[in-house]
Chain A
């Protein structure tokens, strides 16, 4: 369908400010949180109701127009990068908290509701929504579903997939699927899990029921400094091995602590090679017990400096440094590129050593902050986009880090999603038959491939052209595919 015809058919039921097509109006939507990739969409549509979403999707389906859904646009993998010949479906106006049921401990919300707004509304009842991605002040719950967002506390409290009960999903045909329920389980296939993290490839979420959990009575954090990375890694394993599941377990290397200390003054030990933050939460008795044990384990593991937060102000100060790590990287370097691999924890020291080597090889600094409890690394490669060739070098460095994650039994993305950014690395992590099954699942929902085309799962042709070796399990890559 011609863009003008499309605009006209949308204008039949949408007001002028819900259908944008002038370049200056489209510009704000050209990228999400991954600004290295930009594309102006053909049209931006901003529905106000589920009924409007249904009508929009029916039009897209009939006219074979691609649709890219967008929440708050904070995603870090380009999942909401627009399609040049498609509609960008912004769900920001679906932002009602429809119901908080403090007795059943659930909230029914629209996809445009901000993650933190749910917890704020539930606070009066002593409840909150557990997943806390670092962008929680801005990111939308619909986007969290699309990416299966995690956060600092997910080792103990789980990811988005563990904290939702029900979704209303509109298919590309405009049919409404009710997935899950207010019960703890539903017979049939677990489409709730399939939808979570599917990056807008299978349907458009219009309503979500999330679980709310009681706010812990108390939280306290131990800050331990180590003069050796291996000792710090051992400390992480020792805590887990002692039967403790910390509420949060974060690690920062020396470059990171120096960068944030100048900026936030969190009181980190600057002599240390690594600083570890380990939080305990629960009832007052539980926390007292656990904090004491964590202290002993840190000492036994060879920490050179151990401090425990004595009050809430101090706890937040310890955390402030970790939370400011990304902006701190921005202060010491014109640009930085954030990676997101996950590895089995036992390989932490090995992978960090590998990153250090690559850093020397590429002549680029790399600062490491990560969720040590679940092995989710966020190496930040520092570069200057104005220096010719440096972005390309950075991307190569990043790709090597991800391949290393796969080699040690990990994954190319722990929580940021594949989007457009890691589409080539998918070719390394999965073999042809696995990618084919992903495509088959996609086609079960969207046979014409209209929902977020080109994202999350690479075409086999792309993989053949990309030429990255499938480093998994030492199989030859795509022997069954012709080369172009």
Chain B
């Protein structure tokens, strides 16, 4: 495997010398995500060859794997030991890799109740823009030696370096999961989801769509049954398929072909009045809007409403991408981001512009 790393190092050093941009890619399942990069101008740095689990001892609750490892293979291995990735990452395709999962920083339905990718990342091995092979964090839960570079890398969309290996905390698969559904209006659903999250209930996912609130309970059988009795609601038999359709965006809502906006906001904000259809996740903290084709007309209203709602709006899926995909940060933040990028990637070669045009 060291020969593969040597190849990567070489590619990076040559690219840095010529200041020629590289596009880091795993399985390509998240190519749609982020600003468009002009493919003609950059070489692809593919990590698909760098695969395999480096270390996994279920009783340590930690797995270390190479970035090119298939996410599906990794999850299958964990499942054999009755464990899982707690943040339920979306794959968006069978080619999804662990590296792409961590670099994109996307988490699934369990996120509001269990945590995000960044909450589970414990350590990384990476190559920076000088081709240096670096280790940060480690395989232990508690580690405060040095700055938290592992989490800084998480969600950085490949703009800071090439992830080689990632150590992630894993969780036991809950003994039982039940999915419940109840009919209600949006305002009531938002209220309920926030109320319930403030009570000790084993809720592990929520979704509001088309006047139906669907929720998942996870945990010990006795606890889950007791919570069902407390909350009521109709038991849904194909819960697994439903949550998978939300996680992988195969649900009807996501299939409209319209521009898909992802609004990450304060969970208790009352219903947002915006054009298009809506689906709510994460106890009210994540609101998806499928809007019309005219992104330029919608962008200002969507971004200003999400500012007011204490959050941000990402243009998650749209082929045109005439606007910045990610919510523009304030100017002083962009300056800090640029300085950090400059330290990791002095020649500015990694995924340039994919997150923000300035980076």
Show the binding face of A for B, using Cβ within 8 Å: 101-105, 125-127, 147-148, 150, 154-155, 158-159, 161-162, 175-179, 181-191, 193-194, 196-198, 202, 214-217, 237-238, 240-241, 243-245, 282-286, 288-290, 342-346, 371, 374-376, 409-418, 422, 426, 429-430, 433-434, 437-438, 440-445, 456-457, 472-473
Contacts and interface: CB of A to CB of B under 8 A. Distances in A.
B138 A410 contact: yes
- Of A183, A202, A290, the most chain B CB neighbours within 10 A belong to A183
Contact of B314 (A184, A187, A217): A187
B16 to A, nearest CB: 15
Given A126-B199, A444-B339, A418 B145 contact: yes
Q: Which of B57, B140, B222, B285 has the most CB of A within 10 A?
A: B140
A190 B115 contact: no
Contacts of A197: 144, 147-148
B154 interface: yes
Given A101-B268, A182-B266, A183-B311, A289 B337 contact: no
B186 interface: no
Nearest to B327: A187
Contact of B285 (A179, A183, A346, A437): A183
A456 B148 CA distance: 12
A197 B194 CA distance: 30
A433 B146 CA distance: 13
B172 interface: yes
B227 interface: yes
A440 B57 contact: no
B332 A175 contact: yes
Which 7 residue pairs are nearest across A and B when measured between Cβ atoms? A183-B311, A243-B172, A193-B151, A182-B310, A414-B142, A285-B222, A286-B223
A282 B227 CA distance: 12
B266 A104 contact: yes
Nearest to B346: A440
Contact of A410 (B140, B155, B219): B140
Nearest to B134: A434
B340 A190 contact: no
Interface string B258-272: 000000111110000
A438 B147 contact: yes
B237 interface: no
Given A175-B332, A187-B314, A245 B141 contact: no
Contact of B222 (A289, A411, A413): A289
Nearest to A435: B146
Nearest to B282: A184
A127 B198 CA distance: 7
Contacts of B276: none
B226 interface: yes
Contacts of B223: 282-283, 285-286, 289
Contacts of B115: 158, 162
Contacts, number: 260
B235 interface: no
B20 to A, nearest CB: 23
A418 B152 contact: no
B8 interface: no
A442 B340 CA distance: 9
Contact of B141 (A155, A190, A241, A422): A155
13 contacts: A104-B268, A181-B312, A183-B312, A189-B337, A198-B148, A243-B175, A289-B222, A374-B141, A410-B138, A410-B140, A411-B144, A426-B145, A437-B134
Given A126-B198, A214-B198, A444-B343, A187 B332 contact: no
A433 B132 contact: yes
A176 B337 CA distance: 15
Contacts of A127: 198
Given A103-B194, A343-B140, A344-B60, A283 B156 contact: no
B117 to A, nearest CB: 10
B24 interface: no
B209 interface: no
Interface in B294-350: 309-312, 314, 326-327, 329-330, 332-333, 336-337, 339-340, 342-344
Contacts of B266: 104, 181-183
B151 A150 contact: no
A125 B195 CA distance: 11
Interface string B123-134: 000001000111
Given A188-B356, A240-B61, A457-B146, A183 B310 contact: yes
Nearest to A101: B268
A429 B112 CA distance: 34
A441 B340 CA distance: 6
Contacts of B60: 240, 344-346
B118 interface: yes
Given A286-B223, A413-B144, A158 B119 contact: yes
B286 interface: yes
Given A189-B152, A283-B227, 20 more contacts: A103-B195, A161-B119, A178-B330, A185-B155, A189-B160, A196-B148, A214-B198, A214-B200, A214-B201, A237-B59, A282-B202, A285-B225, A342-B141, A346-B57, A374-B140, A376-B140, A410-B138, A411-B145, A429-B145, A433-B133
B220 interface: yes
A424 to B, nearest CB: 12
B31 to A, nearest CB: 18
Contacts of B344: 437, 440
B156 to A, nearest CB: 6
Nearest to A402: B145
Nearest to B263: A183
Contacts of A162: 115, 119
Contacts of B309: 183
Contacts of B140: 342-344, 374-376, 409-411, 414
Nearest to A150: B142
A188 B337 contact: yes
A154 B142 contact: yes
B198 A283 contact: no
User: In this complex, which of A125, A148, A194 has the most chain B Cβ atoms within 10 angstroms of its Cβ?
Assistant: A194
Contacts of B148: 148, 161, 193-194, 196-198
Contacts of B291: none
Contacts of B267: 104, 184
B42 interface: no
Question: Most A CB atoms within 10 A — which of B115, B221, B225, B312?
Answer: B312
B268 A411 contact: no
Given A214-B198, A375-B140, A184 B152 contact: no
Nearest to A237: B59
A183 B268 CA distance: 10
A187 B355 contact: yes
B116 A185 contact: yes
A241 B59 contact: yes
B138 A411 contact: yes
Interface in B148-196: 148-149, 151-152, 154-156, 160, 171-173, 175, 194-195
